[in-house]
């Protein structure tokens, strides 16, 4: 480890709660389950030191504790300092260094590096529209028939672009051609946090430039909701569900001014277990009311963007059987019932369909989709495209769709 020691003997370093150790023979790796920090290899002594970094022990105290493990030999303070410095360098410590990352005004991408070649990325994004079976590149915004009403929301997958492919294109084409919104409320699945709702005031960096967060809109939501929306400061850093939507949005809108409202939504498992409509949960009903209220006060046109997938089945998702054969057909049939509810823009039917099967197929798009349908109150829906990704080994299958909601 080459990190220069920067922690004095009286320092009380603290390992982040999401850091785990994996052992494989004599190899031990400390890694971040949230994928923010970088993994580093340690010795067994290093693991013993890391296990004691709880924010209450000084390095000097840890040095004394290790005497019983080393047979009375004093571990040099430089060894402890070097390890702690390396952990901090790898963003595995709860320290000012990582808090600076979380509190920076601009969020750095976690999945699509900002140094990606914009031309190469643009070619990849164009293929979402132009690949075989695709919807074609978006044209100019067109007027919508009065009977349909204005576009209120679009559902998009948050798969990687290679697997989500033309399903993304169908959704974004509908979005770009049918709204003049200047504010996009991006309501997305939260994969890393146990909190119900997580906001951020950070702007989003992309290879095509920075996408601004509407700080006034965000602050209005936070002010009306009260405490709790910023409690998990780590949640947005590793999350892909907003980032994967913001990059194409910036690419497609180019110089057209727009802002986003990035809201992550956690699990509705409690509602599913009780088979109780989410509107019966006080925190969820409060968020629905607040989203309606803040939109009503906006002087700019608003459109919602839902980032959520459908079924996740197979051993990758802790199922005992492979995602293959009749089970895939059964899953596709159950997806059809979900899509029917979405086509009717009916949040109650949508929830009841998923809760009726105990959410056994892990529909990760349930929370953001239900919340958006309740907040935006569209009168009609239209399924644009559906896919079922199938790993050839049966290790996993993920289904996803794009849909538009009007009214």
Nearest Cα neighbor of 200 from 245, 225, 247, 232 is 232
Question: Is 210 within the bounds of a domain?
Answer: yes
Can you give the residue range of the structural domain that contains 277? 106-406
Q: Are residues 83 and 198 in the same domain?
A: no
Are 187 and 374 spatial neighbours (Cβ–Cβ below 8 Å)? no
CB 250 within 8 A of CB 305: no
* CATH number of the domain that residue 204 is part of: 3.40.830.10
Tens digit of each residue's pLDDT (9 = 90 or more) over 124-138: 999 999 999 999 999
* Residue in the block written with tokens 């990758």: 316
Q: What is the mean pLDDT of the chain?
A: 94
pLDDT tens digit string along 333-345? 999 999 999 999 9
Q: Is residue 13 part of a domain?
A: no
Share of residues in the chain with pLDDT > 70 (%):
97
Same domain, 236 and 299: yes
Q: How confident is the model at residue 254 (pLDDT cuts 50, 70, 90)?
A: confident
Q: 197, 194, 204: which is closest to 242 by C-alpha?
A: 204
Strand order in the sheet with 203-206: 106-107, 203-206, 209-211
Calculate ∠ Cα 79-80-81, nearest 5°: 90
Do both 91 and 112 map to the same domain? Answer: no
Number of domains in the chain: 2
Q: How confident is the model at residue 3 (pLDDT cuts 50, 70, 90)?
A: very low
Of the CA atoms within 13 Å of residue 373, those in its CB half-sphere come to: 26
- Write the burial class of residue 192 (CB in 10 Å: 0-12 exposed, 13-18 middle, 19+ buried): buried
Answer yes or no: do 252 and 396 share one domain: yes
User: Among residues 84, 100, 116, which one ends one of the domains?
Assistant: 100
pLDDT of residue 4: 44
The CATH number of whichever domain residue 52 belongs to comes to 1.10.10
Phi/psi for 206 (5° steps) reads -140, 165
User: Of the candidates 80, 100, 120, which is a domain's last residue?
Assistant: 100
Which of 13-27, 294-308, 317-331, 371-385 has the lowest average pLDDT?
13-27
Q: With bands split at pLDDT 50, 70 and 90, how would you rate the model's confidence at 24? A: confident
Shared domain for 175 and 206, answered yes or no, is yes
Residues 80, 219 share a domain: no
Report the side by side order of strands in the sheet with 40-42. Answer: 19-24, 27-32, 40-42
Contact in structure between 407 and 379 (CB atoms under 8 Å): yes
The whole-angstrom separation of Cα 403 and Cα 18 is 35
> How is 226-264 classified by DSSP, letter by letter?
-TTTTS-TTTTTT--TTHHHHHHHHHHHTTS--EEEEEE
- Averaged over 195-205, what is the pLDDT? 97
First to last CA, the chain: 59
Residue 227 lies in a domain: yes
């Amino acid at each position: 480890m080459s990190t220069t020691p920067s922690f004095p003997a009286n320092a009380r370093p603290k390992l982040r709660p999401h850091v785990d150790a994996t052992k494989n023979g004599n190899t031990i790796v400390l890694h971040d389950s949230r994928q923010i920090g970088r993994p580093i290899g340690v010795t067994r002594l290093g693991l013993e030191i890391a296990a004691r970094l709880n924010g209450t022990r000084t390095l000097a105290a840890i040095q004394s504790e290790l005497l019983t493990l080393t047979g009375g030999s004093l571990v040099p303070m430089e060894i402890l300092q070097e390890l702690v410095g390396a952990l901090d360098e790898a963003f595995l410590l709860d320290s000012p260094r990582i808090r600076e990352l979380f509190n920076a005004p601009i969020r750095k991408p976690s999945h699509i590096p900002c140094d990606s070649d914009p031309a190469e990325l643009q070619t990849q994004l164009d293929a979402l529209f132009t690949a075989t079976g695709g919807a074609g590149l978006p044209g100019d915004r067109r007027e919508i028939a009065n009977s349909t009403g204005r576009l209120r929301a679009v559902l998009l997958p948050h798969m990687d672009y290679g697997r989500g492919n033309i399903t993304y294109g169908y959704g974004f084409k509908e979005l770009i051609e049918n709204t003049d919104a200047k504010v996009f409320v991006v309501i997305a699945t939260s994969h890393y946090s146990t909190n119900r709702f997580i906001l951020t005031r950070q702007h989003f960096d992309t290879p095509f430039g920075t996408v601004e967060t509407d700080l006034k809109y965000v602050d209005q939501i936070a002010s009306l909701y009260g405490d709790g929306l910023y409690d998990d400061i780590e949640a947005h850093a590793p999350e892909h569900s907003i980032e994967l939507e913001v990059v194409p949005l910036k690419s497609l809108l180019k110089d057209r001014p727009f802002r986003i409202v990035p809201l992550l939504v956690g699990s509705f498992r409690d509602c599913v277990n009780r088979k109780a409509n989410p509107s019966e949960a006080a925190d969820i009903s409060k968020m629905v009311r607040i989203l309606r209220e803040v939109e009503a006060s906006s002087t700019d046109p608003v459109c919602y963007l839902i980032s959520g997938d459908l079924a996740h089945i197979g051993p990758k998702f802790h199922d005992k059987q492979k995602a293959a054969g009749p089970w895939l057909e059964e899953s596709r049939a159950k997806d059809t019932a979900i899509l029917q509810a979405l086509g009717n823009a009916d949040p109650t039917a949508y929830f009841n369909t998923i809760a009726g099967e105990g959410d056994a197929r892990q529909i990760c798009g349930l929370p953001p989709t239900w919340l958006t349908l309740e907040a935006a109150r569209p009168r009609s829906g239209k399924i644009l495209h559906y896919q079922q990704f199938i790993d050839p080994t049966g290790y996993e299958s993920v289904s996803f769709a794009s849909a538009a909601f009007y009214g």
